[in-house]
Structure formats: structure tokens, C-alpha cells
């Protein structure tokens, strides 16, 4: 039975009941911040990417690194211009992560090239 302040008696049946967990079709992935603390849960892809996607991601990362070096920028400098962490630029260049379209626009602007030059 509820007591003052809306509290539940710890010995009541309501307090001992366990929450019901329903099975969801979506697979969830925990994301972490740079301190390895759990930030949030995001849905994972329902279907895996086709085999031809990875080589294009690797090529994009190589082009970003190549154009960054030609512009005489370090990863830290490019990251500051784009407004992301240095580790994010590393992940793009190492094909560990796909850049969002807005990040591609900012990277292209920082490097003085067109987005099409990054994606060629």
C-alpha cells in the first residue's frame, strides 16, 4: 500500500514485482563517450551492408587523408574546422565510420574542394 509522499512499502507485492521486458525486433547497440561511459542505446542496422560498400568507405577515407595532407592540415586542425573530435576524423580516414552528409560538406569546405571530389 502506498504511504505518505507516494512511496511504496518495500515489503508490498507491488514493490517485489519485476518489470516485464518485451522482445523487440530491433537489435540495440550501446554507444559510449570518450570516457567509455554508456551514453545511449541506438538501433543497429536491420540488414548488413552489401560487400561493395566497404571498399568505397576505405577509398573515401584515403581521399580525406590525402586531401588533408595536401592542404597541410593535421587531423586536429581539420577536426577543429569541421567541429568534431580528432578521433572522428581518424575514424573517417580509417573507414571505421561513415561520415554524415553535413560532415562531408564541412570537410570539403575545410579542404577547399567539392563534395564530389571526396566521393569520386
How high is the pLDDT of residue 12? 53
Cβ burial of 71 (10 Å; 0-12, 13-18, 19+) is middle
Nearest Cα to Cα of residue 28 among 39, 38, 43? 43
Reported as a single tens digit per residue, the pLDDT across 83-113 is 999 999 999 999 999 999 999 999 999 999 9
Nearest Cα to Cα of residue 107 among 95, 96, 92, 120? 92
Question: 77 or 13, which is more confident?
Answer: 77
Reported as a single tens digit per residue, the pLDDT across 3-30 is 555 555 555 554 444 444 444 444 555 5
In CATH, what class is 53-119? mainly alpha
Every domain of the chain and the residues it spans: 53-119
How high is the pLDDT of residue 120? 84
User: 3-class DSSP state for residue 83?
Assistant: coil
User: 3-class DSSP state for residue 2?
Assistant: strand
Question: 44 or 17, which is more confident?
Answer: 44
User: 3-class DSSP state for residue 105?
Assistant: helix
> In the structure, what pLDDT confidence band is assigned to residue 47 with cuts at 50, 70 and 90?
confident
Nearest Cα to Cα of residue 91 among 31, 42, 41, 28? 31
Amino acid at each position: 500500500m502506498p504511504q505518505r509522499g507516494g512511496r511504496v512499502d518495500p515489503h508490498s507485492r507491488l514493490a517485489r514485482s519485476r518489470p516485464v521486458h518485451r522482445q523487440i525486433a530491433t537489435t540495440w547497440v550501446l554507444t559510449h563517450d570518450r570516457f567509455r561511459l554508456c551514453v545511449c542505446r541506438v538501433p543497429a542496422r536491420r540488414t548488413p551492408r552489401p560487400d561493395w560498400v566497404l571498399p568505397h568507405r576505405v577509398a573515401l577515407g584515403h581521399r580525406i587523408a590525402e586531401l588533408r595532407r595536401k592542404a597541410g592540415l593535421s587531423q586536429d586542425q581539420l577536426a577543429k574546422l569541421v567541429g568534431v573530435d580528432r578521433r572522428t576524423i581518424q575514424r573517417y580516414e580509417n573507414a571505421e565510420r561513415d561520415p554524415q552528409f553535413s560532415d562531408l560538406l564541412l570537410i570539403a569546405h575545410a579542404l577547399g574542394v567539392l563534395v564530389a571530389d571526396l566521393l569520386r
